[in-house]
A = this chain, B = another copy of it.
Amino acid sequence: MHFGIALFPTIGPRVKTAQQYYDESLGLADLADELGLDHVKTVEHYFFDYGGYSPDPVTFLAAAAGRTRRVRLGTSAVIPAFTHPVKLAGKLAMLDNISHGRLDVAFGRAFLPDEFEAFGIPLDESRARFREGLAACKRLWTEEGTVFEGEFHRFGPVTLQPRPAQRPHPPVYVTSARSPESCVEAGRAGHNLQIVPGVLATEDLKDRLATYRRAWAEGGHTPGAEKVHFSYPCVIAEDGAEARRLAALDDERNGAAIGEAVQSWSRVNSADYPGYDKLADTAARATYEDKRAQNKVLSGTPEEVTRQLETIAEWFGPDIGISLGIHSGHLPAEVARRTMHLLAEKIAPKF
């Protein structure tokens, strides 16, 4: 099991300026580098408190790349639907070189109707655009004289500059494949997986993962070579009650932010997003104590969180990556730093 951090702001200027949030987050990236953690990730979202401070993950990760030396840098997702593939492949290749080959690229479909509306992209095209954008990036990274004839983009022959530093290209992840079909598709293609466990029941997650790993092997990829990352909100402190209190507060604020962002699902429907019209209800329903009991959030003393992680390893396997959501912006950065220190010093050595 290896550990990193996932930065997902859920604040706006009433809580904290963007400048302060980035200062704190770059400090946490530095700390991840110093502590020998595996990765730092961040998201792509717009307009709302829910991720809106991170409309371009590559920009933040490039700032981190310029000042760190060994920690890997990952997109929690980039959204191909919102950026032309020539631009997307180009800037990711720049980041891979600037970081000396430390980039992991997760691609996502996005799911907030307001984001699609602003970009003038129909929700029902999101799966096709995700597939096409991902395929175009891989071809641009690896081919000379790419001729691309897609449904949404046609270009070529062109040869992308720069080439990625990692050959043939940076590791590719698919973010949050919720359906069995998406898991089969990702496995067959040899794509790694990033999972947000909060959105599915544990038994369903185990099923999806088994489906994915089966498809990975069927696709001719070496069993065990697939990389699977799980994201969990996390607060660790020597005083377990304090950690749980802070984690519950953070969870409440995150819930409010996602509740606001998914409001528009109440007026939108898409056959490509089954069940999303109920998202606002679902987000409001689960209590923090429920989530903690189900190991959907991690909090407590180092010993308590170690036990949670041992259960997670039993469920999903010992070789997974864990991305800790330690800084939504609602709690002081010092709380995140403490979590990272305790993780690196008292928990990671046991796994």
Contacts and interface: CB of A to CB of B under 8 A. Distances in A.
Nearest to A30: B66
Given A155-B117, A161-B12, A98 B46 contact: no
Interface string A108-125: 000000100111100000
Interface string A32-75: 00000000000000111100111110111011111100000000
A82 interface: yes
Contacts of A64: 66
Among A12, A19, A159, the most chain B Cβ lie within 10 Å of the Cβ of: A19
B82 A87 contact: yes
Per CB-CB distance, the 4 closest pairs between chain A and chain B, nearest first, are A55-B90, A18-B162, A63-B66, A52-B161
Contacts of A55: 86-87, 90-91, 93-94, 160-162
B56 A87 contact: yes
Contacts of A22: 94, 97-98
A139 B250 CA distance: 33
A41 B109 CA distance: 33
B161 A18 contact: yes
Contacts of A118: 86, 155-156, 158
Contacts of A48: 161
Contacts of A291: none
Contacts of A223: none
Given A22-B98, A55-B94, A97-B22, A163 B13 contact: yes
A107 to B, nearest CB: 16
